[in-house]
Amino acid sequence: MADESRIFEVEIITPDRVFYRGEATMIEFNTAAGELGVYKRHIPLTTVLAPGIVKIHKDGEDDVIAAVHSGFAEILPEKVTLLAEIAEWPDEIDKGRAEAARQRAEERLSHKTGETDIKRAEFALRKALIRIDIAK
Amino acid sequence: MASMRDIKRRKGSIQSTQQITKAMKLVSTVKLQKAKNRAEQTNPYFNYMYQTVTSMLAKSGNVDHPYLKAGGSDKKAVVVITSNRGLAGGYNSNVVKTVTASGLLKEDVEIYAIGSKGHEALSRRGYSIKADESGMIESPAYENAAALCKTVLDAYTNGEIGEIYLAYTHFKNTVSHEPKLMKLLPIEFDENEMEQAAGSNVLMNYEPNEEEALDTIIPKYITSLFYGALVEAVASENGARMQAMDSATSNAEEMISDLTLKYNRARQGSITQELTEIIAGAAAIS
C-alpha cells in the first residue's frame, strides 16, 4: 500500500496531447535556475523549464523518464503541472537524428561566423544531447 | 417545353455534380473528425496556459512590461486564418468580413495571411499584406505557429507595430463555427476573470523573478493562441465544407427529382403527340 501522505499529482501537457498524467512521490526536472526536485507540499512556484530529463519517482514502481524541452512548470502543494512545448518518451526518440543534430550544432559552434546564432545553436546542441542521453 | 434530350442531358450533368459534392462531403467529414480530435487535444494545454497567464497578470497587476502596454506605433498586425481552398460556404468570406468590419483603419493594418483565400480577398480590397504563410494551414504544426509568433513579436518589440490581432474561425461544435477577431497584444483581460483568478489562487512564487517569467511565458502564451486558432480553423473549415457540400448534394437531389418529373411529362407528351399524328394520318387515308 502506497503511503498516501507522500503522493501528489503530476501532469505533463504539450500542445498536441496530454503527455502524462499520474501520481508520483517525487519529480525531478531541469529549470532555468538549475535542477529541481519536488516532493509533496512544496511551496507554490512557477518556474521556466530548461531542456532536460524529467524523472518521475513512484512508490514501488519504476521511475518514469521523459525528455522535455522548453516550457514552464507550475508547482502547487498537491499538484505539479509541466507545460512543455515538446515532450518525448525515450522510445520515441530517433537516435540517429539526434546524433546528426548534435554534429550539426557542434559544427556551427566550432566554426562561428558573424551570422551564427550562437544561442540557437547552443539550444539545439543541448536538446540533441538530452535526446541522446535519454535514448540510451 | 424543353426537349426530352435536353432534359436528359441536364439531369446527367447535375447527377455527376452531385456525385462530386457527395464525395467531397465524405472527405471533409473524415477530415473534420481528425481535426476535431486534434482541437480537443490542444484544449487542455491552451486552457492551462490561459489560467496561468491570467493569474500571473492578476497578481503582478501593474508590472511595467512591454507586452502589457501599447507600443509606440499606430500600425496593427492582423493575423488572418482562412483556408487555401474554396467550396466551404461562407467560411472564408466571414473571416474576411470580420476584418473589414472591425473598424480598424485600412492604412494602419498589416496583414499576416495564413490561407490563400483570405490573402487574395484582402489584397483585392487594398490591405497591405506583410507576410503569406499559407502553407501552414495544410498541416498545422506547433513549430510553425512558434515561428510566425516570433516574427510578429519581434516586430512588436521593435516598435514596428503597436497592436496584434488574430482573426480566425472559432470551432464551437460540428455545426456551429463563429468568426472571431481577437486582440492579442497588449494583453487585455476581463476584470471579472482577473479577480477570480487572483482570489482563487495561493500565493505564487516565481523563479527567476516575475518579469523574466513573463518574458518567457507570454510568447508561449501567444504561440499557444496561434496554434489553438490554427487547429480550430482547420476543424471549422472542414465543418463548413461538410455543411456546404451536404446542402449542395441535397439541392442537386431536389433538382434531379424536379427534372425527372419534367422528363416524364415530356416523354408522355411526345407519345401522345405521336399517337395523335398516327391516328390523324390513318383517318386521312381511310
d(CA A14, CA B73): 34
pLDDT above 90: percentage of residues in chain B:
28
Residues from chain B that touch A18, judged by Cβ atoms under 8 A, are 41, 44
CB neighbours of residue B34 within 10 Å: 12
Residues from chain B that touch A81, judged by Cβ atoms under 8 A, are 48
Please report the number of interchain residue pairs, chain A to chain B, with beta-carbon separation below 8 angstroms.
71
Residue of A nearest to B204 (CA): A44
Domains of chain B, CATH where assigned: 4-21+244-281 (1.10.287.80), 23-240 (3.40.1380.10)
Residue B164: enclosing H or E segment and its boundaries? strand B163-171
The CATH number of residue A112's host domain is: 1.20.5.440
Q: Does residue B207 sit at the A interface (CB-CB below 8 Å)?
A: yes
Residues from chain A that touch B212, judged by Cβ atoms under 8 A, are 48
For chain A, list residues with pLDDT below 50. Answer: 1
Q: Does residue B191 sit at the A interface (CB-CB below 8 Å)?
A: no
Question: Residue B251 above 90 pLDDT?
Answer: yes
Domain final residue pick, A58, A73, A90 = A90
Same domain, A78 and A124: no
Is B205 in Cβ contact with A45 (below 8 Å)? yes
Q: Which of A49-53, B240-244, B277-281 has the lowest mean pLDDT?
A: A49-53
Cis geometry, peptide bond prior to residue B208 (ω within 30 degrees of 0): yes
Same domain, A50 and A71: yes
The CATH number of residue A21's host domain is: 2.60.15.10
* B 213-232 residues inside an 8 A Cβ radius of A: 213, 216-217, 220, 223-224, 227
Quick one: pLDDT at residue A87?
Answer: 86
Number of structural domains found in chain A: 2
Q: Which of B20-29, B39-48, B56-65, B106-115 has the highest mean pLDDT?
A: B20-29
Which of B154, B207, B214 to probe by mutation at the A interface, max A CB count within 10 Å? B207
Distance from CA of A4 to the nearest CA of B (A): 23
CA A81 to chain centre: 12
Chain mean pLDDT for chain B:
85
Same domain, A108 and A84: no
B58-116 pLDDT per residue, tens: 766 556 677 777 666 778 888 889 998 888 888 889 999 998 888 788 888 888 888 89
Residue of B nearest to A33 (CA): B208
Quick one: pLDDT at residue B197?
Answer: 59
Same domain, A13 and A76: yes
Quick one: pLDDT at residue B195?
Answer: 63
- What average pLDDT does this structure show over B238-243? 92
Residues from chain B that touch A46, judged by Cβ atoms under 8 A, are 52, 56, 204-207, 213, 217
CB neighbours of residue B221 within 10 Å: 24
Same domain, A64 and A15: yes
Same domain, A61 and A127: no
> Which residue, chain included where needed, has cell 510553425?
B144
Distance from CA of B22 to the nearest CA of A (A): 31
Same domain, A49 and A24: yes
Same domain, A68 and A25: yes
Quick one: pLDDT at residue B26?
Answer: 94
Q: Which of A46-50, B52-56, B208-212, B214-218 has the highest mean pLDDT?
A: A46-50
Structural domain of A9? 4-90
Question: Residue B253 above 80 pLDDT?
Answer: yes
Residue of A nearest to B55 (CA): A46
Quick one: pLDDT at residue B212?
Answer: 76
CB neighbours of residue B230 within 10 Å: 26
Quick one: pLDDT at residue A1?
Answer: 44
Question: Residue B252 above 60 pLDDT?
Answer: yes
Quick one: pLDDT at residue A41?
Answer: 86
Distance from CA of A101 to the nearest CA of B (A): 17
Is A83 in Cβ contact with B49 (below 8 Å)? yes
Q: Does residue B26 sit at the A interface (CB-CB below 8 Å)?
A: no
Same domain, A114 and A100: yes
Same domain, A84 and A30: yes
d(CA B82, CA B166): 11
Same domain, A18 and A76: yes
As a whole number of Å, the end-to-end CA separation of chain B is: 33
Is A76 in Cβ contact with B142 (below 8 Å)? no
Is B45 in Cβ contact with A83 (below 8 Å)? yes
Residue of B nearest to A72 (CA): B217
Quick one: pLDDT at residue B200?
Answer: 56
B144-200 pLDDT per residue, tens: 888 888 888 888 888 888 888 889 998 888 888 889 888 887 777 666 666 665 555
Same domain, A9 and A65: yes
User: b vs e for B185-202, b when ≥16 Cβ sit within 10 Å of the residue's Cβ?
Assistant: bbbeeeeeebeebeeebe
pLDDT above 70: percentage of residues in chain B:
90
Q: Does residue B142 sit at the A interface (CB-CB below 8 Å)?
A: yes
